[in-house]
Amino acid sequence: MDFQYEQEPMQAPVPRSLAKERLQIAMPAFSVALVFLIASVVQGVAHALVLTLQPSIAENDWYPWVASMVPMYCIAMPISFIFMRFSKSEPPPKQGMRPLVFVGLIALCFGLTYAGNFVGSVVNAILSMLTGQEMTNDLENLTMSSPFWVNLLFCGILAPILEELFYRKLVIDRLRRYGDLPALLLSGIAFGLIHGNFYQFFYAAMLGMLFGYIYLNTGKIRYTIAIHMAINLVGGVYTTEMMKRLDLELLASDPMAALTQNTAGMLMYFGYLAFVMCMIAGAVIALVLLLIFCRRPLRRAEQPLTAREWVRVLLLNPGVWIFLVVCILLFL
């Protein structure tokens, strides 16, 4: 006697609601965009007032840095901190780091900086040939026109502290619930995009991911602040003072004359070349050793999003749209 069982029809999986995920990701994206929106408005109003009431202030060497960075670091970022608090935070557990590992990571970060800077220069050269327009490095122009103490304060001290607190501490703490890998990728790419130019995008994105990896494995933001500060002091402060002292035309035509006429500048130049070579060699060694001895698995989310869900969360998200529009305007 045959028994026949009625097979129940298979039901398609019901897509889960992603409203909480959209809000959780929208707040960091919107807060990053808000920094530049508020800073732009405050900078425009302040500049107009200066030109109206005291135009002589705008003629000072320190004015471009102060006019652009004070609205961002002293006004826009504190306001964005408040908005960021509406998103749930999950900081990583705190762990120590061996001094030798820290030194190796410094070399690796410098190596990534030089590699990313080279890629950015190539991309800008290609864009210049395609468009017929010269691509300028606004940050380099800004530091070259500013005095030493302004570059030291804003580029060497304030920028590393506030950017690490914002882009690593606040942003990663709010993306960590989706797993370490999404937090690293999203925060790193956002950090690169928000610089608004191809000169800085590639190395900023790579550094952002490595800084995020360091923070996720230690839970201590002071490590990334220290490395970020070292990179800015060398790349933004030391090299600027070196370039101010060098006669590049004389160096290209008669190196011996440049050496005798500008000994201080040439010593800074040779010292920088030696430093770069040491950092590149150290970066290669550190990368090999870290891959062999320090391979820590990335933490996965308890309920990770699928690829399709990530597309829905990111593309159907007003906060992400606002962030992308701001980045496009910065690049343009």
- Cα 155–160–164 angle (5° rounding)? 150
- Residues of the chain above pLDDT 90, percent: 33
CB of 28 within 8 A of CB of 175? yes
Distance CA 209, CA 16 (A): 29
- Summarize pLDDT for 51-61 with one digit per residue, the tens: 998 888 888 87
Distance CA 169, CA 92 (A): 10
**Tokens representing 132?**
């017929």
Distance CA 61, CA 115 (A): 31
Among residues 25, 186, 177, 173, the alpha carbon closest in space to that of 89 is found at: 173
- Summarize pLDDT for 291-321 with one digit per residue, the tens: 776 667 778 887 788 888 888 888 888 889 9
Among residues 151, 180, 147, 187, the alpha carbon closest in space to that of 166 is found at: 187
pTM score = 0.87
Other C-beta atoms lying within 10 Å of the C-beta of residue 287: 15
pLDDT at residue 258, rounded to an integer: 67
- Summarize pLDDT for 34-48 with one digit per residue, the tens: 988 999 899 999 999
- Summarize pLDDT for 128-187 with one digit per residue, the tens: 888 877 777 777 777 888 888 888 988 999 999 999 998 999 899 989 988 899 999 999
* Lowest mean pLDDT across 7-16, 27-36, 290-299: 7-16
Residue 3 pLDDT grade (very low, low, confident, very high; cuts 50, 70, 90) = very low
Among residues 236, 271, 255, the alpha carbon closest in space to that of 144 is found at: 236
Residue 204 pLDDT grade (very low, low, confident, very high; cuts 50, 70, 90) = very high
Is the model's pLDDT at 269 over the cut of 90?
no
